[in-house]
Amino acid sequence: MSDIKKVVLAYSGGLDTSVIAKWLQQTYGCEVVTFTADIGQGEEVEPARAKAEAMGIKEIYIEDLREEFVRDYVFPMFRANTIYEGEYLLGTSIARPLIAKRLVEIAEATGADAVSHGATGKGNDQVRFELGAYALKPGVKVIAPWREWDLNSREKLMAFAAEHDIPVDFKKAGTKSPYSMDANLLHISYEGGILEDPWAEAEEEMWRWTVSPEKAPDEAEYIDLAFEKGDIVAINGEAMSPATVLTELNRLGGKHGVGRLDIVENRYVGMKSRGCYETPGGTIMLRAHRAIESITLDRESAHLKDSLMPRYAELIYNGYWWSPERLALQKLIDETQQNANGEVRIKLYKGNVIVVGRRSEDSLFDASIATFDDDAGAYDQKDAEGFIKLNALRLRIAARAGRKMK
């Protein structure tokens, strides 16, 4: 008899997690609690309740976490201008710590002694879910069915579902999708199918949120974004909540073909993976945030942030959101954002996000010093001579000593 009495399962209502729910009941002889999170994936989550009930599940949690997701995870990440390996905006990675947190909280509330997820043994998500769970509830038991069972194909999953009368939309499930997709309010990702050939171009029909740049409007669209402490709080003068901001930026970016990405990335588990991503709102946010920082942060603060960002991005990608080093970095990042206030004007045109204006009452841009016209003595150009000689001193000493410079 298993010592696991109750498990909280991250449940989407799809084929995989429906099979997992039944498999947990059979394998561990335990009670299953389902948790379904709405983080803006664009699909109805309420039908998951009926599917869970049909399997005899009594405790069912369905929660709208969109505002919390953007406010407490997406926005803090974008304050750091975070990108992984120079391109990826971490849309999947940043959703996992929130789901892990709620799994643990529900386990506490229901008296469960284990949590479970549907991530496979090849990907990053298993690491993200489990590192988050262990950081927040050190003694929790984590059950990862894909690392235990032999249901290692879609056909076996379908057969198991049929055998145990699992309520799955068989018409939908029986039609093999060419891609593995994951969506939330920040992005939608695509893997598998023809994308497993890094030379093969993604089919136009694959993209769901964005039009192709070729089919985008022939007229540019201007938007004004208002920032407070590094976060966007209004679009075109209309105050909006965090989730509403991202929803509207997704709409605007998608309309103009903004935010498509095709990359080969290095997974934490060691293999390379080719993925395509649509992140229209995030692409606009990143460009606009760097613009407001360009006039409100001093040089060394901005450069320090840029030097730390790759490390911060790796922490999120690898699942260390709840680590002490990420929390420490976040405090530094947030401190730099105290004066990141003002407005940025963006032009959207055929896949491009173009910054055309920025202004702030906290601006460090001093036109009287930077001007190419007469500065009325605001800057003494003779000062530059000593500055240059001091900075050249070590180079001159090395050259006189015969050190080769090429």
Is residue 247 annotated as involved in ligand binding? no
Is residue 111 annotated as involved in ligand binding? no
Is residue 118 annotated as involved in ligand binding? yes
- What are 72's two structure tokens? 């407490």
Is residue 239 annotated as involved in ligand binding? no
Tokens 């579902």 found at: 161
Is residue 261 annotated as involved in ligand binding? no
C-alpha 23/C-alpha 161 separation (Å) is: 10
Is residue 210 annotated as involved in ligand binding? no
Is residue 3 annotated as involved in ligand binding? no
**CA dihedral (293, 294, 295, 296) positive or negative:** positive
Long-range contacts formed by 45-53: CB under 8 A, 24+ apart: 45/13, 47/13, 48/11, 48/12, 48/13, 50/167, 51/13, 51/18, 51/167, 51/168, 52/11, 52/13, 52/21
Is residue 189 annotated as involved in ligand binding? yes
CA atoms within 13 A on the CB side of 330: 17
Residue among 180, 294, 323, 360 flagged as catalytic: 180
Is residue 10 annotated as involved in ligand binding? yes
C-alpha 19/C-alpha 85 separation (Å) is: 35
Is 359 labeled as catalytic in the residue annotation? no
Is 16 labeled as catalytic in the residue annotation? yes
Residue among 16, 38, 79, 358 flagged as catalytic: 16
C-alpha 166/C-alpha 56 separation (Å) is: 11
Q: How far is CA 373 from the centre of its chain?
A: 45
Using left for φ > 0, alpha for ψ between -120 and 50, and beta otherwise, residue 238 falls in beta
SS3 string, 204-232, reads HHHCCCCCCHHHCCCCCEEEEEEEECCEE
CA proximity to 285, closest of 85, 95, 80: 80
Residues forming a β-bridge with 63: 37
Please state, as a whole number, how many other Cβ atoms lie within 10 Å of the Cβ of residue 57.
19
| DSSP output for 261-294 | EEEEEE-TTS-EEEEEEE-HHHHHHHHHHHHHHH
Residue among 66, 102, 116, 125 flagged as catalytic: 125
Is residue 37 annotated as involved in ligand binding? yes
Tokens 């690392």 found at: 147
Is 380 labeled as catalytic in the residue annotation? no
Residue among 66, 79, 96, 358 flagged as catalytic: 96
Is residue 120 annotated as involved in ligand binding? yes
Helices of type H across 31-177? 47-54, 66-69, 75-79, 96-110, 125-136, 154-163, 170-173
Is residue 11 annotated as involved in ligand binding? yes
Is residue 306 annotated as involved in ligand binding? no
Is residue 13 annotated as involved in ligand binding? yes
Is residue 88 annotated as involved in ligand binding? yes
Is residue 12 annotated as involved in ligand binding? yes
- What are 309's two structure tokens? 């960002």
Is 96 labeled as catalytic in the residue annotation? yes
Is residue 368 annotated as involved in ligand binding? no
Is residue 17 annotated as involved in ligand binding? yes
Residues making up the binding site for ATP: 10-18, 37, 118
Q: Known binding site for L-aspartate: residues? A: 120, 124-125
Residues annotated within the binding site for L-citrulline are: 88, 93, 124, 128, 180, 189, 265, 277
User: Annotated binding site: which residue ranges?
Assistant: 10-18, 37, 88, 93, 118, 120, 124-125, 128, 180, 189, 265, 277
**What residues act catalytically?**
16, 96, 125, 180
